[in-house]
Amino acid sequence: MFRRSQEIQIKSADQLAVMRRAGLVVARTLQAVANAVCPGVTTRELDAIARDCIRTNDATPSFLGYHGFPAVICTSVNEEVVHGIPGERVLRDGDLLSIDCGAIVDGWHGDAAVSVPVGTVSAPVLALSAATESALWAGLQQARAGNRLSDISHAVEVAINAAGSFGVVEDYTGHGIGTSMHMHPPIPNHGKPGRGPVLKVGMALAIEPMATLGSPVVGVLADDWTVVALDQGPAAHWEHTVAITESGPWVLTALAEIHL
- The site for Mg ion (CB under 5 A) is made up of 100, 111, 113, 206, 239
Helix 13-36 × helix 43-56 angle, to 10° = 140
Q: Is 239 helix (H, G, I), strand (E, B) or coil?
A: strand
C-beta of 173: minimal distance to Mg ion in Å?
A: 9
CA nearest neighbour of 74 among 252, 248, 223, 253: 223
C-beta of 122: minimal distance to Mg ion in Å?
A: 25
Helix 123-141 × helix 149-163 angle, to 10° = 150
Taking the least distance from each CB to Mg ion, the nearer of 133 and 239 is 239
C-beta of 40: minimal distance to Mg ion in Å?
A: 26
How far CA 202 is from CA of 6, 13, 142, in Å, comes to 16, 7, 15
CA nearest neighbour of 113 among 201, 184, 50: 50
Taking the least distance from each CB to Mg ion, the nearer of 39 and 187 is 187
| Residue partners of 165: CB distance under 8 A and separation at least 6 | none
Taking the least distance from each CB to Mg ion, the nearer of 114 and 124 is 114
Taking the least distance from each CB to Mg ion, the nearer of 57 and 231 is 57
What is the Cα–Cα distance from 160 to 156, expressed in whole angstroms? 6
C-beta of 248: minimal distance to Mg ion in Å?
A: 21
What is the Cα–Cα distance from 84 to 202, expressed in whole angstroms? 32
C-beta of 235: minimal distance to Mg ion in Å?
A: 14
* DSSP class per residue in 145-162: TTSBHHHHHHHHHHHHHH
* Tally of residues, the chain: 260
What is the Cα–Cα distance from 43 to 116, expressed in whole angstroms? 13
Taking the least distance from each CB to Mg ion, the nearer of 54 and 206 is 206
What is the Cα–Cα distance from 5 to 168, expressed in whole angstroms? 28
Taking the least distance from each CB to Mg ion, the nearer of 184 and 231 is 184
Amino acid identity, residue 37? V
Taking the least distance from each CB to Mg ion, the nearer of 125 and 242 is 242
